[in-house]
């Protein structure tokens, strides 16, 4: 039997489309950050930040829809993780960079943050079955879930609103060796470290 065009899309469940909407929002936030750096319109930056809470809503809804429809798949789980990497890993880092976290040390910290998010999601996918105790539901998270980076985006939005970005970035900057470090970027370092914690366990409701 010949394969039909777009046969993969035909296999998607309703929940998967909510997951793709999550990824769409995250990608839009990255483009908004790029547009701000190109044209300097603060409205673009705020619009990009507004897409992250929307991505969070879609991320919450895909799980609820999957449980409502009683449909779960390995493809859906992988889609969810990949979408989360974009919306709650790459996008917050891009928005932080656009806000002024552009020193050499900042690049390293932002890359560390994204790497932690990727590692956190990969570990979750590998250990989900054992954490669920043989059931359908994971009882707790090891480390903070990557969507908690939404809190960082909210902080950045407040700074944008009060004009505390760029040269006026809150906490200023330090010159450490050949590169600059903005102390604000340590919020990303803390978030990433909490995500990959092995001992921190958070109940999943």
pLDDT tens column, 29-45: 999 999 999 998 899 99
Q: Crossing angle of helices 104-131/91-99, nearest 10°?
A: 160
Question: pTM above 0.75?
Answer: yes
Tens digits of per-residue pLDDT, 184-199? 999 999 999 999 987 7
CATH number of the domain encompassing residue 57 = 1.20.120.1760
Q: Which of the pair, 188 or 138, is modelled with greater confidence?
A: 188
Average pLDDT of the residues in 51-59: 93
In a domain, 2, yes or no: no
pLDDT tens profile 147-205: 999 999 999 999 999 999 999 999 889 998 899 999 999 999 999 999 998 777 776 65
Number of domains in the chain: 1
Q: What is d(CA 205, CA 199) in angstroms, rounded to the nearest whole number?
A: 19
Q: What's the whole-number mean pLDDT along residues 42-49? A: 95
Report the distance separating Cα 197 and Cα 103, nearest Å.
Answer: 26
DSSP tag of 201:
E
Is residue 64 over pLDDT 70? no
pLDDT number for residue 87? 95
* Sign of the four-CA dihedral 168, 171, 177, 180: negative
Question: Higher model confidence: residue 97 or residue 10?
Answer: 97
The pLDDT of residue 1 is 46
110 or 122, higher pLDDT: 110
Phi, psi torsion values for 70, nearest 5 degrees:
55, 45
Select from 28, 26, 31, 34 the least CA-distant residue to 55.
26
What domain range includes position 46?
7-203
| b/e map 102-120, b = 16+ CB within 10 Å | bbebbeebbebbbebbbeb
User: Within a domain: residue 1?
Assistant: no
Q: pLDDT tens digits, residue range 75-110? A: 666 788 899 999 999 999 999 999 999 999 999 999
Position 154 in a domain: yes
Residue 181 bridge partners (DSSP): 174
Given a cut of 70, is residue 63 above it in pLDDT?
A: no
Please compute the mean of the pLDDT values over residues 104-128 and round it to a whole number: 90
- Beta strands 174-176 and 201-203 are unpaired
Residue 205 is predicted with a pLDDT of: 55
Domain assignment of residue 65, yes or no? yes
Largest CA distance in the chain: 65
> For position 124, what pLDDT does the model report?
79
**Would residue 146 count as lying in a domain?**
yes
- 67, pLDDT greater than 70: no
């Amino acid at each position: 039997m010949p394969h039909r065009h777009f046969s993969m899309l035909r296999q998607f469940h309703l929940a998967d489309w909510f997951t793709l909407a999550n990824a769409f929002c995250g990608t839009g936030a990255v483009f908004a950050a790029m547009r701000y750096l190109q044209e300097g319109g603060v409205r673009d930056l705020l619009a990009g930040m507004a897409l992250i809470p929307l991505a969070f809503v879609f991320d919450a809804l895909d799980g609820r829809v999957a449980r409502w429809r009683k449909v779960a798949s390995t493809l859906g789980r992988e889609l969810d993780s990949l979408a989360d990497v974009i919306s709650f890993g790459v996008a917050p880092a891009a928005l932080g960079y656009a806000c002024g976290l552009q020193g050499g040390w900042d690049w390293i910290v932002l890359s560390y943050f994204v790497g932690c998010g990727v590692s956190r999601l990969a570990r979750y996918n590998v250990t989900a079955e054992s954490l669920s105790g043989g059931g359908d539901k994971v009882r707790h998270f090891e480390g903070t879930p990557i969507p908690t980076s939404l809190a960082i985006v909210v902080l950045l939005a407040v700074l944008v609103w009060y004009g505390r970005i760029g040269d006026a970035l809150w906490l200023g900057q330090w010159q450490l060796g050949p590169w600059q470090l903005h102390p604000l970027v340590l919020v990303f370092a803390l978030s990433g470290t909490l995500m990959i914690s092995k001992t921190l366990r958070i109940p999943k409701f």
